[in-house]
Amino acid sequence: MANIIRRVNGTANDDRLSLSKYLHVLNPQSGPKPRSFQVFTHIPSLRTARRHAMLAGESVGFVPTMGALHKGHLALIRQAVQENTHVYVSIYVNPTQFGVNEDLGSYPQTLPTDLQQLRALTAEYWDNDSVGQITGVFTPKTRDMYPGFKPTSEVDGHGSFVTITPLSSMLEGASRPVFFRGVATVCMKLFNIVQPDRVYFGQKDIQQTYVIQRMVDDFHLNTQVRVVPTVREKDGLAMSSRNEYLGKRRRKVASVLIRALRAVRTEFINGVTGREELLSAAHRVVDEELAKQTALPPTWRSLFEVDYFSLADPMRLTELDTVTPAHGAVLSGAIKMLPVEEAQENEDLGTGDGKITVRLIDNLRLELPSFLRKSNP
C-alpha cells in the first residue's frame, strides 16, 4: 500500500502514456476536440466508445461519483484531463453502499446541474491541445448495474459482492458495515465496464482509497489508482455532497472536525508522538465546542457526536500507540451532526430541513516538515 500514500501528496507523470495523450493532435483524421461529451445510459454503447479509444491507442481516465458535484469532484476531473486523452465520469447513486437506515432516499440527486457543471468544465479545454477531454458521462440504471436481482443493504443479505477484509471492517466500516462492500462492488462493476487506465479518488475518503487499491492489487485489475488532495472550504471543511444537508447553523459548527485534526498535527510537529497525548488534543477541541453549543438555547445550538478519532499506520491503517516521525501516520476522524432541535422562522436548514443526521469524515497525514525530519530519524 506504500504507493497510494505517495499519490496522496501528488500525482506522478507517466511518460510512457504521453504519446496517446496527444494522438488527437498528431492524427489529422481525428479533427478538433468535440465541444461537448456524450451521455451514456446503457453499458453496450459506452463499451463501444471505449473500444474505439483502445484501438486508437488513446488513454482513458475515470472518475466515479454519485453526483451532487462540487469543487472536489471537479478537481479529480481536472487531474484526469491532464493525464489522459479521454475522461469518463460516472454519476450513479449506488444503493448497496447505504445501510438499511441510512440516507439513500434523501441523498441529493442533481443530474441537470451536474451536467451543466461538466459542460462548463469541458469548455475550459476546448482550445487546449496539450490536455485531454471529458468524452463521456455514464448515468446507468440500477437494473443494469445489478441485473440479477434488486440489491440488498442487509449485512447478511444475498447478492454478488466484493468484500475486502479486514480493511472494510475498520474505522468507517465499524460504523457502516455494508459501506465498503457496496463501494468495492460498484467500483469493480464500473472498472469492468469502463476499463480505465487510471481511476481518480479524493483523499478525503482516505480509507476508500486503501480499499480500492487493495482490490486493484488483489484482483490484478489493469488500472492505476490516483489520489488527489482534499479540496476544502475557506474554514477548512472538506467539500462533500453531504454538506448540502447542513444548512447555515450546522455548517458553522461542522468545521470542528478539521480544527480538531489540525490541533493534533500541531502537537505532532511540536514533538508529541504518543497516541493518548496526540488524540487528547482533538478531544479538547471537540469538547470545548460541544460545551459551547450545549449552553445555547435549542433554537441556536448545533449538537454533534464524535464517532471516532484514529491514528493509523500509513501502510496498513492499523492503529498506532506511537508515531515514528520518519514514517508518520494517517490521522482521521468522523463526527455526526445531529438534527436541528428547534428551527427558527425561515431558517436555512439545508436539504432535508435539518432533520437528517449528517456524518462527516476527514483526515490529515501526520508528517514532519522536511527541515525537521533530519533531526528526527
Decide if 311 contacts 279 (C-beta within 8 A).
Answer: yes
158 is annotated as an active-site residue: no
Q: For the chain, how big is the Rg over CA atoms in Å?
A: 22
Helices 247-254/256-269 angle, 10° precision: 10
Cα–Cα distance measured from residue 229 to residue 271, given in angstroms and rounded to the nearest whole number: 25
Residue partners of 182: CB distance under 8 A and separation at least 6: 94, 95, 96, 97, 98, 153, 161
Decide if 54 contacts 27 (C-beta within 8 A).
Answer: no
Q: What are phi and psi of 361, to 5 degrees?
A: -125, 155
Which position among 52, 73, 158, 327 bears the catalytic label?
73
Cell matching residue 290: 460541544
Decide if 53 contacts 191 (C-beta within 8 A).
Answer: no
Positions annotated as catalytic residues are 73
